[in-house]
Amino acid sequence: MKHLRNLMALAIAGMMATSGMAMSKDEHKAAKDRVEADYKSAKAQCDTLKDNAKDVCEKEAKGNEKVAKAELEAQYKPSDKNTYKVHEARADANYEVAKEKCDDLSGNAKDVCVKDAKAAHVKAKEDAKVAKAQAKPATGHTTMTNDSAAAHNNAVTAKQADVAETKKDADEAKRKADYKAAKERCDAMSGDAKDKCVADAKREYAQ
């Protein structure tokens, strides 16, 4: 499935390269149709499987389609927002597949698997938010007079503050998700051992 995703991306990039310019509306539609056709083909292959292997296959096929469409939109209409949507689509796709694979397990092992998948999902999405904040240009004047230079410096300072705040929020969200995964592991224990496990997790992830 990862190979299929790479082929989708190459096909989209190839269409843009042959045009020598931004993707036209017709090229965009053709690329989108190709992505949808590839999804149908991949899903048909999943029908040869059964049980959870089939479910995982279908999640991978749908995830690859969503990522390919997000990549297509980012190439058709380049922007920080669409670039972020690509990262978001990848995070969501990986999470759905990882979570589905947990169905092969049971009991606490399954619960831990789900929490680990969620922690990885949170990390990927929070990292994407930080990258988006870092990529956002500082709004300020480019022709430097004394006033415009001051405005530019203020804009740079404001951006740095925004990035720092985004990183702080991201770190907090990731610690919380990691704590939940660690705490889930403690449920396999009992008594003092479980209490110590939870206390250690709280201390490690500052909860």
In terms of Cα–Cα distance, which of 141, 171, 136 is closest to 153? Answer: 141
> What is the average pLDDT value for the chain, to the nearest integer?
89
Prediction pTM value: 0.83
Residue 81 burial (CB count, 10 A): 12
Fill in the DSSP letter of residue 23: P
- The more confidently predicted of residues 16 and 74 is 74
Residues 18 and 76 reside in one and the same domain: yes
Inform me whether the pLDDT recorded for 20 exceeds 50.
no
Return d(Cα 69, Cα 63) in angstroms, integer.
Answer: 10
Residues 98 and 118 reside in one and the same domain: no
Residues 10 and 34 reside in one and the same domain: yes
**CA torsion angle 86 90 91 95 (round to 10):** 150
What type of residue is 7? L
Among 73, 104, 135, give the residue marking a domain's end.
104
Please, what is the end-to-end C-alpha distance for the chain in angstroms?
38
Residues 131 and 82 reside in one and the same domain: no
pLDDT reported for residue 77: 95
Per the structure, the complete domain to which residue 71 belongs is given by 1-104
